[in-house]
Chain A
Amino acid sequence: MSIIAHTGHSHGIDPGLVALVIVALILGSVAAMAALRAWQQRAGPDTDTHNAPDGTH
């Protein structure tokens, strides 16, 4: 008896693999959003500083 193999054989897919894909998708999305936010924060102040309205830096 195999917990994983039994369920996997009955539906043709490995539940462990399904779970892995779900976890990877969620964590990958979170990591991508965090990276995007960090990139935006880093890019934001530079733009403001170098394009000041009165022409100063």
Chain B
Amino acid sequence: MATSTPHPPTDRHSRGGTQDERLARTGVLALKGGPAVTGTPTVASGIATKIWVLAALCWVATFAAVVLGADAHGHHDVVLEESTLSWPVRLAVFAAAWQVMIGAMMLPSTIPMLELFWTVSARRPRPAAARTALVAPYLLIWLGFAGLALAGDAAVHRAVDTWEWLADREGLILGATLVLAGAFQFSSLKKACLAACRSPLSMMWEHYGRGVRSAWRLGVHHALFCLGCCWALMLVMFATGAGSLAWMLLLTALMVGEKVTTWGSRIVTPTGIAFIAAGVTLCAVAMLFPQ
């Protein structure tokens, strides 16, 4: 599968092809419970178990941070204005907290893609390097999103500090974030990215190639589609504050449901309506009852 092919494999392609293509098909068959070469299902199920364990550990770490009161260091307001730590340390703590949150919230929805890649790369040279190259862009791109959100939040803080009208109606900020997230659920970009995330086999078929560099490119595509699909929901998570367990649970359920389940596409519209309703309510309260 060194060359790009615009469509996922079908029955027409079920014979012949390169070794990579056969391995990919074998992996897909294994994931669907069909005939496969010996050992392939073990590879796929093994990585799924590891990811679930890792995600569970991230949830435990988040819960422990909340119980111990350490979650405040991951909150954007504390990072920007209230922390007494030096800037490099507070940014490092924020980045670590964000990555733990990404691990808890986003890892479960990446399982289909990672299972597929782990299966296909099992018989390639240097599989560990290729797998690292696949996962690294995912973490880096989501970390970049957190950096952009933090920079944007710094601008919001400045606006609130200098604009008294907005300072009296700060609820507008979270309300507007919710309306934005809700409206994005109806966008064509969301639909396109969600469709890509829901069919990792198509993404593999289009972008898989030999070597670490190809794995990196596939990882970048995977991460960008995931970002395009979930950035608005994660912006809500950022606005409500890292460590808000109830929001984390709700948003994780929504993102995993949208991307992995058979009924996922049916919850996109209700989610958009619910977020817009919540955002409009917060905006109305902020306008009617200024501080």
Task: Mark A residues whose CB is within 8 Å of B.
Answer: 1-7, 10-11, 15-20, 22-24, 26-27, 30, 34
Contacts and interface: CB of A to CB of B under 8 A. Distances in A.
B77 A15 contact: no
Contact of B241 (A1, A16, A22, A30): A16
Among A6, A15, A27, residue most surrounded by chain B Cβ atoms (within 10 Å): A15
B246 A19 contact: no
Interface of B: 75, 77, 81-82, 156-157, 160-161, 170-171, 173-175, 178, 239-241, 244, 246-247, 250, 254, 266-267, 270-271, 273-275, 277-279, 281-282, 285-286, 289, 291
By secondary structure, the B interface counts as: helix
The 3 A-B residue pairs with the shortest CB-CB distance, nearest first, are A26-B274, A22-B278, A19-B278
Given A1-B157, A2-B77, A19 B279 contact: yes
A22 B270 CA distance: 12
A16 B77 contact: no
Given A15-B282, A16-B244, A26-B278, 13 more contacts: A2-B82, A4-B77, A6-B170, A7-B291, A11-B285, A15-B175, A19-B279, A19-B281, A20-B240, A22-B278, A26-B273, A27-B270, A30-B270
By secondary structure, the A interface counts as: helix
A44 to B, nearest CB: 20
Nearest to A30: B270
Contacts of A11: 285, 289
A3 B156 contact: yes
A37 B43 CA distance: 39
A4 B279 contact: no
Given A11-B285, A19-B282, A23-B250, A4 B174 contact: yes
A17 B273 CA distance: 18
A26 B266 CA distance: 14
A42 to B, nearest CB: 15
Contacts of B174: 3-4, 7, 15-16, 19
Contacts of B161: 1
A3 B239 contact: yes
